[in-house]
Amino acid sequence: MENFRDYSTYLQRAVLAVDENQITHLVSILYDAYLKDKTVFVIGNGGSAANASHFAQDLAKGTRVSIDFPKRIRALSLTDNVAFMSALGNDDGYDQVFEQQLQTYANPGDVLIAISGSGNSPNILSAVKWANEHQLATVGVTGFDGGKLRKINQASVHVPLNDMCSAESIHSIIFHYVVLVLMEKMKNEALLSAEKIENKN
C-alpha cells in the first residue's frame, strides 16, 4: 500500500463486501436482548479483545436513552477482568478463560458475541461451543474465511478479507454502526412507551 488514499479505497471495498443482512441480524439479536433484559457478553483476543471491550462499553453506555432512563442494554466484555482471566489461564489453561466466565455469569437466552479474525482461536471456539449447548444466542464476527467459528456460530458477521489489521478495523466500523442503529431504535421504543402511558392517563 503506497499511500493512504490507496488504503482508504482498499478499506471501502472491503466494507462494501460485507453482507448487510448479517449486520441487520446482529442488530435484531441485540435489540431482542434489550427488550428481554438479557445480558450480552463479548469476547476476543488481542486487537479483537480491544474491540470487545470497546463494543461492550458502547452497548452499555452509548445506547442509553438518557442518563436516568432505567432500561438499558446489559453488556459485558469478558476480556476486562484481568485477575479472573489470569487466574483461569494459569489454573485451567488459556483456552478456558472465556468459557469458565460464561459458566459463572451466563444464563439461557443471553447473547455471546465472539470476535476472531481467523475464526480459529481455541478459547473462542470453546466458549461458543459451551454457549450453544446452554441456550445462548451466539454471533461470530470474523475475517479471512471465517475459520471454524463461522461453522459453529448461530449467526455471523463476516469480513471477507485476508488481512487481520484491516479486518479488525472494519469490525470496529460495523460495531459503531450497530450502536447508532440501536440507539435510534431504543429512543423510538422509549417514546412509544411514554405515549402509551400518557394515553392511558
Lowest mean pLDDT among 1-15, 63-77, 102-116, 184-198: 184-198
Instruction: Report the alpha-carbon distance of residue 117 to residue 167 in Å, rounded.
Output: 7
pLDDT digits (tens, 9 = 90+) for 61-96: 999 999 999 999 999 999 999 999 999 999 999 999
Lowest mean pLDDT among 37-41, 92-96, 191-195, 196-200: 196-200
pLDDT digits (tens, 9 = 90+) for 98-153: 999 999 999 999 999 999 999 999 999 999 999 999 999 999 999 999 999 999 99
Q: How many domains are contained in the chain?
A: 1
Confidence of residue 189 (pLDDT cuts 50, 70, 90): confident
Residue with cell 463494543: 55
Question: What confidence score (pLDDT) does residue 2 get?
Answer: 78
Report the candidate in 116, 170, 171 with the shortest Cα–Cα distance to residue 148. Answer: 116
Q: What percent of the chain has pLDDT over 70?
A: 96
Of 196 and 36, the structure prediction assigns the larger pLDDT to 36
Instruction: Report the alpha-carbon distance of residue 1 to residue 136 in Å, rounded.
Output: 41
Is the pLDDT reported for residue 201 higher than 70?
no
Residue with cell 469478558: 78
Is the pLDDT reported for residue 200 higher than 80?
no
What's 147's domain CATH number?
Answer: 3.40.50.10490
Instruction: Report the alpha-carbon distance of residue 150 to residue 195 in Å, rounded.
Output: 42
Residue with cell 462494501: 16
Interior CA angle at 142 toward 139 and 145, to 5°?
Answer: 125
- Which structural domain, as residue segments, surrounds residue 28? 4-200
Instruction: Report the alpha-carbon distance of residue 73 to residue 135 in Å, rounded.
Output: 19
pTM for the structure as a whole: 0.95
Which runs of consecutive H residues, i.e. helices, occur in 43-121? 47-57, 82-92, 99-105
